[in-house]
Structure 1
Amino acid sequence: MTKRKPLSTVVAESLSEKIRSGRLQPGAQLPTEAELCAEYDVSRTVVREAVARLRSEGMVIPQQGRGMFVSEAPAPRNFSIPQDALKTLPETVSLLELRLSVEVEAAGLCAERRTESEASTIRRLMEQVDARNEDPGAVPVHYDYDFHLAIAKSARNEFIHGFLEYLRPVIVPRFQLGHVVVPELKDAYYARIHSEHRKIVEAIEKQDGRAARDAMRKHLQNSLERVRALALASGVETTDAAQKAAAASLFSDLKGSAAPTG
């Protein structure tokens, strides 16, 4: 049975085809979010993910206060991650390995270059993200991606930030956290992630580049090992039920290991 494409991919491919065929000419304004929602019968989130993909490919550009416009000269797409290649846990592992190679340096540069205002914003965002403690079955594994993007933005390297923005549409909607954390370990899991986040933020506030790199490396390596363990336990093209069953046998070390959240 062929797996259906994500709705955001369907919308992005449709808009891309309109641009390539000339139905949407260079310089033309894209329909509004509301119009695209009505045309494709999808949510605003789906539309935003689709437009973000087109923007990452250089097909559309924003004009402040006006909206999105078809690029006059679309940039060649030198790097891409096809949706069809992102169906299994092994690909999620590969994406985490890619993030690890980029975000460790981003954290160090952020610590060395950030302003006081940016450090405050990063801490505030961390507290907001970590205070939610939502049902793992209702949030993506990468629920803290905005926190990571804020760090990358303050690294003052537009290519690092742009690259991680490019990854957002393909990495964030991946597997739900419920595939990785069983409900009874939810609080301990969130506490551990908050502890990892806090070490990153404290290093950034101290402008300690080495400590920030070490803390980010530890955080992403832990995420990588959790997902890698799940991939090994559940196999490649397994069902949601099989993946959840595998998750139940993992991370038993979380029991009773909740880190202080203060």
Structure 2
Amino acid sequence: MLAAAEDRFERVEVASACHLVAEAIEREILSGRLRPGDGVGTEAALCRQFGVNRSTVREAIRMLEQGGLVQRGGDRRLYASLPRYSGLSSRVSRALILHEVTFRELWATARVLEIAAAEQAAENADAAAIDALEENQARAEQALDDPARLAELDSQFHSLMSKASRNRVLDLAREPAGLLFFPTTEMICRRVPKGAARMVAAHRHLIEALKARDAAAAALWMARHVADWRKGFERAGRDLDEPVERVFARHALRAPY
């Protein structure tokens, strides 16, 4: 009996140093603290900051380059970059792409989940959550002429709204679809007149609804916001029934990042 108990567990695999370094840099990029085009640092600087050797840093950079999160400039320095969409996504998000889901399907799902998140955020958001949304809003108001940055902030806004709901099931449920928002939003901000201004205005109304604890107003404004997203997609000349990965790939080829 003792031997059986001792053999119950398998050995624990400890993450290698290069994976930990890559994950730390990835968190900075995905959080928006490192924006596309920002310097990541030299290999020597990264070795010093992480307290690891150069081979570890080089392997971490190799993994990030494969995912499209880091690239080397003409000066051989390392810069944060906009990855190919599949490089950002979770396993579920990647599965959605592999199954060739359409924008229409993405929109219909987002409409349900984003409205639910807004309603529950109006009921449950605390002061810290509202402060985070206000900070995001202030940055968005300064980025109206920067489609890529504004799209990043929109993605962050929806993530913050979901977390403000304080419903972990809802937050986890919406994350895979939420990771698909950025490319379409960036395209709309770039191609549709007043698209950026309407987005930021909707965010302001949503924040005010949360402050007022008005779940009905939050649901109404989120419904309008998501409806605008669909209209903007159509006005940008995209087909609602085209697989999202195909749309994103075509857009990436044309967008002047």
- Relative to the length of structure 1, the TM-score reads 0.58
Are 1:210 and 2:198 counterparts? no
2:169 corresponding residue in structure 1: 159
CA distance in 2, matches of 1:29, 1:163: 27
Are 1:105 and 2:105 counterparts? no
Long gaps (5+) in structure 1: 1-24, 58-78, 245-262
CA distance in 2, matches of 1:39, 1:192: 40
Does the 8 A contact of 2:115 with 2:219 survive in 1?
yes
Q: Report the Cα offset of residue 234 of structure 1.
A: 11
Amino acid of the structure 2 residue aligned with 1:162: L
Does the 8 A contact of 2:119 with 2:216 survive in 1?
yes
Match of 1:177 among 180, 186, 206: 186
Q: Report the Cα offset of residue 114 of structure 1.
A: 1.1
Other structure's SS at 1:100 match: helix
For the structure 1 residues 232 and 157, does the alpha-carbon distance in structure 2 shift closer, same or farther, using more than 3 Å as the test? Answer: same
Amino acid of the structure 2 residue aligned with 1:83: I
For the structure 1 residues 80 and 179, does the alpha-carbon distance in structure 2 shift closer, same or farther, using more than 3 Å as the test? Answer: closer
Matches within 5 A, 1:44-83: 53=90, 81-83=95-97
Cα deviations across residues 94-139 of structure 1 (Å, max 9, x unaligned)? 2122111111011011011111222222122122123212443x45
CA distance in 2, matches of 1:172, 1:205: 25
2:133 corresponding residue in structure 1: 122
1:84 corresponding residue in structure 2: 98
Are 1:231 and 2:238 counterparts? yes
1:39 corresponding residue in structure 2: 62
Are 1:96 and 2:107 counterparts? yes
Amino acid of the structure 2 residue aligned with 1:174: P
Match of 2:225 among 195, 210, 219: 219
Amino acid of the structure 1 residue aligned with 2:135: R
The structure that has the greater radius of gyration is: 2
For the structure 1 residues 53 and 232, does the alpha-carbon distance in structure 2 shift closer, same or farther, using more than 3 Å as the test? Answer: closer
- Relative to the length of structure 2, the TM-score reads 0.59
CA distance in 2, matches of 1:202, 1:173: 24
2:206 corresponding residue in structure 1: 200
Which runs of at least 4 in structure 1 moved beyond 6 Å after TM superposition?
233-238
For the structure 1 residues 148 and 29, does the alpha-carbon distance in structure 2 shift closer, same or farther, using more than 3 Å as the test? Answer: same
For the structure 1 residues 124 and 205, does the alpha-carbon distance in structure 2 shift closer, same or farther, using more than 3 Å as the test? Answer: same
How many pairs does the alignment contain? Answer: 188
2:15 corresponding residue in structure 1: 29
Long gaps (5+) in structure 2: 1-10, 23-56, 71-79
Other structure's SS at 1:166 match: helix
Does the 8 A contact of 1:129 with 1:147 survive in 2?
no
Q: Report the Cα offset of residue 182 of structure 1.
A: 3.1
2:142 corresponding residue in structure 1: 131
Q: Report the Cα offset of residue 175 of structure 1.
A: 4.0
CA distance in 2, matches of 1:84, 1:124: 35
For the structure 1 residues 84 and 150, does the alpha-carbon distance in structure 2 shift closer, same or farther, using more than 3 Å as the test? Answer: same
Does the 8 A contact of 1:93 with 1:227 survive in 2?
no
Q: Percent identity?
A: 16
CA distance in 1, matches of 2:122, 2:131: 12
